[in-house]
């Protein structure tokens, strides 16, 4: 049966547009996949190891093919435990607000610690090989403004490092099937915000059965 890993990265919780849309998706997904399971990884309430000191030493020891010290092995085991949650999933949902045109630092922290050689990718004579090729992904993204394709005030080509970065990361770890839901204008006041959220919630519920 399908197993979904849901990564939540907004600290606003009940006021969060990205969480509201994600919860609508998850409710519809669970209703249409009664045997499926969901693992929630909230980056604000999940202890994430610092990637310094022993973790960096463990990374470079591994790259050099050297044995890990007990301290290095202990911190690497923490990283592997996080990576194992990704490997158990065949569906991945990443929920993120836009902060400074990209993603919250807590989500970047998770990505930095877990995206390591032999955890989520490998490399050989073929180049870099993502290890999550069995997984599909959905990005649920919230933005305060509306992006467009024209070279206007908020051209997506210039300003959108949120979706661009997350798609690049998913490509790195081997996920090619990526869909995206966005809710925009969350800074435009209740009328625009309510309409945008409602449209995104409806789209999420419609997408879930086939995901």
Domains and their CATH numbers in the chain: 3-50+89-210 (3.40.50.360)
d(CA 107, CA 99): 11
pLDDT at 9 over 90: yes
Q: Residue 199: its pLDDT value, please?
A: 93
Residue 40 has pLDDT above 90, yes or no: yes
53 against 154, higher pLDDT? 53
Cβ of 100: how many Cβ atoms within 10 Å?
9
- The C-alpha atoms of residue 27 and residue 43 are separated, in whole angstroms, by 20
Cβ distance 204 to 25 under 8 Å?
yes
Could you read off the pLDDT of 152-188 as tens digits, one per residue? 567 777 778 999 999 999 999 999 999 999 998 888 8
Rounded to 10°, the helix 17-32/190-207 angle is 20
Q: What is the pLDDT of residue 152?
A: 56
| Separation CA 112–CA 52 (nearest Å) | 11
Mean pLDDT lowest for which of 7-11, 72-76, 103-107, 151-155? 151-155
Cβ atoms 143, 183 nearer than 8 A: yes
Predicted confidence (pLDDT) at residue 87 exceeds the cutoff of 80: yes
Q: What is the pTM of this model?
A: 0.93
Nearest to 139 by CA among 7, 31, 32: 7
Q: In sequence order, which residues have a C-beta less than 8 Å from that of residue 118 and are 6 or more positions away? A: 62
Say what percent of the chain tops pLDDT 90.
79
Residue 148, pLDDT > 80, answer no
């Amino acid at each position: 049966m399908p197993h979904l890993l849901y990564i939540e990265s907004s600290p606003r919780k009940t006021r969060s547009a990205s969480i509201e849309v994600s919860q609508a998706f998850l409710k519809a997904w669970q209703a249409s996949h009664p045997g499926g399971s969901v693992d929630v990884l909230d980056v604000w309430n999940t202890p994430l190891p610092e990637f310094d000191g022993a973790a960096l030493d463990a990374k470079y020891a591994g790259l050099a093919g050297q044995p890990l010290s007990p301290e290095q092995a202990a911190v690497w085991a923490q990283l592997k435990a996080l990576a194992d949650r990704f490997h158990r999933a065949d569906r991945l949902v990443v929920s993120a607000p836009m902060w400074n045109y990209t993603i919250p630092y807590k989500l970047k922290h998770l990505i930095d610690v877990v995206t390591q050689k032999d955890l989520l990718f490998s490399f050989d004579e073929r180049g870099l090989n993502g290890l999550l090729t069995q997984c599909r992904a959905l990005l649920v993204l919230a933005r305060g403004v509306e992006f467009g394709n024209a070279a206007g005030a908020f051209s997506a080509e210039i300003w959108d490092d949120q979706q661009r970065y997350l798609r690049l990361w998913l490509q790195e770890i081997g996920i090619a099937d990526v869909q995206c839901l966005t809710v925009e204008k969350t800074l435009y006041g209740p009328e625009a915000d309510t309409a945008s959220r409602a449209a995104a919630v409806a789209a999420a519920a419609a997408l879930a059965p086939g995901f």
